[in-house]
A and B are shown apart, each in its own frame.
Chain A
Amino acid sequence: MIEYLNIIFLETYKILFLLVPVLTAVAMIVWLDRRVWAFVQKRRGPNVVGPFGLLQSLADALKYLFKEIIIPASSNKIIFILAPVVTMTLALIAWAVIPFNENFVIADINVGILYIFAVSSLGVYGIIMGGWASNSKYPFLGAIRSAAQMVSYEVSIGVIIINVLLCVGSLNLTDIVLAQENLWFIIPLFPMFVIFFISALAETNRPPFDLPEAEAELVAGYQTEYSGMMYAMFWLGEYANILLMCALGSILFLGGWLPPIDTFPFNFVPDSLWLIFKMLFLFILFALVKAIVPRYRYDQLMKLGWKIFLPMSLVWVVITASYLFYFELLPGN
């Protein structure tokens, strides 16, 4: 019995040690997102609360917390309440397999990359549930758009992941990072990195692919009927997903926690800081794209996913596999 309690205590400690920084980071990147956006548009952005406006997200969270939660009378109440919970939970449980350095990972499972892929493909349910349960036109349209969009872009993300897995020979995220010790995969697989980045934008409903919540057409899409803390949970879940995609991108292509060159000034920096730098780099790219690219039309979005990204990444799988086979570089031989 004591053993069980010990294990449970240890695991809870590890989970809190991960989740509290992740949630803090989510609050910080919301601020960063707004600052970058403002910077591109020559505005100041949030700079009043705290130093440089760093505490703006905290103030927002407090505001949401004290607002009334309004549940529409004609909504399906259980599913309406479950939707933000599902979004938030799914955005957080995926962090269990992200390795921050060679030793710090909560669950070092064999099928880590499949786990992340499965969890991110479940993410669409929060949006569909919210959109349907609101029992209102705009949320429903937003949910339908989002479902089609996320399913389409998952396909190309899956094929891109296959490219990386061909070079690694393992589904374990730690192995994927360790396989990049000599060469980050962004160099041989650069086109795949670009497609991954754009697909990740679409997968997380970020601009220019934010059609599920296109404010010009759909008010706020699936979030229209939500208020108070429930709206904030959708928001937090969305940003946690974005951060997760940044982490996945840095693990798959940018060598995870590995320093760029394994010499003195670089390997003196702690491993997990390198991962955080890479995630920040990717996130600033995400934020810049939001500021400078206009929104796609829906048919263009679908065409991009199915007719351009999917064939390109499939051809690249063939190229990678043939190259590795011809030069006998296939892992596991």
Chain B
Amino acid sequence: MLAHSLFFYAFSFIAIFSAIMVTASKNTVHSVFFLILDFISISCLFIMIGAEFLGMIMLIVYVGAVAVLFLFVVMMLNVAQQKKQWFSSFGSSKHIPLGVLISVIIFFELIIVIGGWKYKPEVVSSIMESQSIGVSNTHSIGNVLYTDYIHLFQLSGMILLVAMIGAIVLTYRKRAGLKRQSYFSQISRERSDSVQLADVPNKKGVDIDG
């Protein structure tokens, strides 16, 4: 138990420290690396409370995909290094009250949401049952996700799909004069499509296109 709590405090300390460093570090790329460290330590915390499936999904989705794209964008944009940190420069401190206000509002909203949270009674009992008979939490998440919450699950998938299509539509543009490779037309090309035998009269040439 001692080792367990030691690891718990280590991971939570790293999580909080890196969360602060995300906003406090001068270099934006460093911020993204601290964000990644934060994700990793939080997934470690998930694993420590026995939610190994959630922890791994967190690693795969957030660290393996989302943070890579973050890093990609931050590196490509080549955002200039901030000259001063937000907490040490008084010139930019006029934004701090607004930021504090917003964070207080979000904090109270979270308290309200968590305070008013209710599970369906049969869900709680099914979770308890599955834990007691030693079903892995992958199975128990699947049992709940694909039965009781199937509509919400499908709906969130649809929202992601719409967002994806929207992003593609927004960035898609047809450029003129661009040559694209088409495997099918290349493979399905026959000799008769491309080779034409012509009787060329002497000193007159031949009009291929005509």
Contacts and interface: CB of A to CB of B under 8 A. Distances in A.
A92 interface: no
Interface stretch (A118-126, A193-201, A224-232): A118-126
Contacts of B138: 110-111, 171
B65 interface: yes
A114 interface: yes
A128 B71 contact: yes
A166 interface: no
A332 B69 CA distance: 37
Given A128-B68, A144-B75, A151-B68, A114 B57 contact: yes
A79 B57 CA distance: 26
A111 B181 contact: no
Interface string A125-145: 100110010000000100010
* Interface residue SS majority, chain A: helix
Contact of A124 (B68, B76, B137): B68
A235 interface: no
A117 interface: yes
Contacts of A15: none
Contact of A299 (B64, B76, B181): B181
Interface size class of B (residues with CB under 8 A): 20 to 34
A132 B136 CA distance: 40
B90 to A, nearest CB: 28
Contacts of B181: 299-300, 303
Contact of B63 (A118, A128, A148): A118
A110 B68 contact: no
Ordered nearest first, which 4 A-B pairs have the shortest CB separation? A121-B64, A118-B59, A114-B56, A110-B136
Interface of A: 4, 76, 79, 109-111, 114-115, 117-118, 121-122, 124-125, 128-129, 132, 140, 144, 147-148, 151, 154, 158, 171, 299-300, 303, 332
28 contacts: A110-B52, A110-B53, A110-B137, A110-B138, A111-B52, A114-B53, A114-B56, A114-B57, A117-B60, A118-B59, A118-B60, A121-B60, A121-B64, A121-B65, A122-B63, A124-B64, A124-B68, A128-B71, A128-B75, A132-B29, A140-B75, A147-B71, A151-B64, A151-B69, A154-B64, A158-B60, A171-B138, A332-B139
